[in-house]
Amino acid sequence: MLRNVFKIKAFRPPQAEIINATLAGRDVFVVMPTGGGKSLCYQLPALISPGLTLVISPLVALMDDQLAELARLRIAAARLTSETGREEAKAVREQLMDPTIKHMLLFITPEKLAKNVSVLVQLEKLYTAGRLARLVVDEAHCCSEWGHDFRTDYKSLGAVRAEFPKTPLLALTATASPKVQADVEAILRIEGCEVFRTSFDRPNLDLQVVPKPAEAADALAALVAWIRREHPADTGLVYCFSRKDAEQVAAGLADTGIAALCYHASLPPEERRYAYEAWSAGTIKVVVATIAFGLGINKANVRYVLHHSLSKSLENYYQEAGRAGRDGQLATCVLFYRPADVFRVSTLVFSNRTGLASLYEMVRYCHDRRTCRRLQLARHFQDPAVQAPCGDRCDTCRGSAAAGGAVADVDITGPVIVLLAALHQAECVWAAFM
């Protein structure tokens, strides 16, 4: 099946073990880095186990990417999202109940599954008939409030699982701490499942953090200069904090002659689809996007990922950076950092249980100019496989080597004294009004 349908010569570790476990009817939890081959772990079993493989996925862009690839491989697949029209939804429901379709993949958002009674009724019928082959929860970290991308409707998936207790469940994510993993297992009711963890490390990614100019025009000019200098003809991604930023940066790149398009959740579906398809085909070289673009996007030759501003967590950052270099060749990941962006991101995350703590970990990563980037990430993800500095695949290692190991220390005692005096004065003024 691997060779004849997917045209792949051999499994990557531990794909074969994961597939064997889910085919044996076991519940399985997989932590595998972006680009590690998680999709194959449910796509291939879907062609072996008769019936429906239901894939719960958080992003329409991811679904579109997988549906396009499955169509190319002539594998029956469909999706149900908020964008699915009435006629398309009717056709999907008819496919689900068609006994002549022996194997089928259905992608659905957690929101659609939680709020659509008719879908649950059809799944119940399939389950009773023995035709619900497997439940797949992609980006499973979204279940946990301790995770970096909590989605409320993911918490309802435990109740869905309870409705179909004999159907094996396969949960997959690129990033999950032991605490998040335990939480997800409890939510999905798969305690005691088979667990497969691989090293997060992607040695072909060159990790860098560079200063971002304060003015928007200067920041755009820095992006343009970097692309023209480092990868003028290559495919890349630029991630932005907001939809407005994405639109402005995409327009700015296009004005300088760089073939770029914008992608975010508020664009009409046809515009998002056009941007993705044009980028996949190489018609345009750069997609400028928010986080709405990317989880699991399977384009092998992305040579760089640039962050116009910092991500809200190291988990988000590494997932986004991981879109680069999926072909195993050298790729560059550059984060343009300025402290002012911390305040913008904090307004987005402060209400989340771990939002600010995760953001400050991201800030520490940006500020640490002494420690190898890979070692910083290894400590965060508790990955024992990375024990030594990379040497030349991150800016801190190259900078330390070039400077003989020296990093400049700056005495900020004076500014801190001024700051403390200002805070003390403000406290006294506040107390006078109380």
pLDDT digits (tens, 9 = 90+) for 12-69: 989 999 999 999 999 999 998 877 789 999 999 999 999 999 999 887 777 877 888 8
Per-residue pLDDT, averaged over 120-137, amounts to 93
Tell me the domains of the chain and their CATH numbers. 15-197 (3.40.50.300), 205-367 (3.40.50.300)
In three-state form (DSSP H/G/I as H, E/B as E, the rest C), the secondary structure along 400-416 is HHHCCCCCCCCCCHHHH
- Of 67, 64, 56, nearest to 271 by C-alpha is 64
Q: Whole-angstrom distance between the N-terminal and C-terminal Cα of the chain? A: 74
Cβ count within 10 A of residue 389: 17
Q: How many C-alpha atoms does 13 have within 13 Å on its Cβ side?
A: 4
Residues 6+ apart with CB under 8 A from 181: 29, 31, 195
Cα–Cα distance for residue pair 16/12, rounded to 1 Å: 8
pLDDT digits (tens, 9 = 90+) for 58-85: 877 778 778 888 988 889 899 988 777 7
| Contact call for residues 298 and 39 (beta carbons, < 8 A) | yes
Return contacts of 11-16, CB within 8 angstroms, 24+ apart.
Answer: 12/36, 12/37, 13/198, 14/196, 14/198, 15/40, 15/41
- Of 132, 126, 133, nearest to 45 by C-alpha is 133
Residues serving a catalytic function are: 38
| Contact call for residues 300 and 186 (beta carbons, < 8 A) | no
E strand intervals along 158-258? 169-173, 194-197, 205-211, 235-239
Cα–Cα distance for residue pair 131/49, rounded to 1 Å: 9
Q: Which residue has the higher pLDDT, 112 or 289?
A: 289
- Of 142, 167, 173, 168, nearest to 155 by C-alpha is 142
Q: What is the pLDDT of residue 84?
A: 78
At 277, the amino acid letter reads E
| Contact call for residues 44 and 1 (beta carbons, < 8 A) | yes
Cα–Cα distance for residue pair 348/245, rounded to 1 Å: 15
Cα–Cα distance for residue pair 234/68, rounded to 1 Å: 22
Beta-bridge partners for 137: 56, 171
Q: What is the pLDDT of residue 384?
A: 86
pLDDT digits (tens, 9 = 90+) for 250-303: 999 999 999 999 998 888 988 988 988 899 889 999 999 988 676 446 788 999
pLDDT digits (tens, 9 = 90+) for 374-424: 999 999 888 888 889 998 999 999 986 554 455 677 899 999 999 999 999
Residues 6+ apart with CB under 8 A from 302: 235, 236, 237, 323, 324, 325, 326, 331
pLDDT > 60? residue 202: yes
Q: Which helix (H) or strand (E) holds 337?
A: strand 331-337
Number of residues assigned to the chain: 434
Q: What is the pLDDT of residue 415?
A: 94
pLDDT > 90? residue 111: no
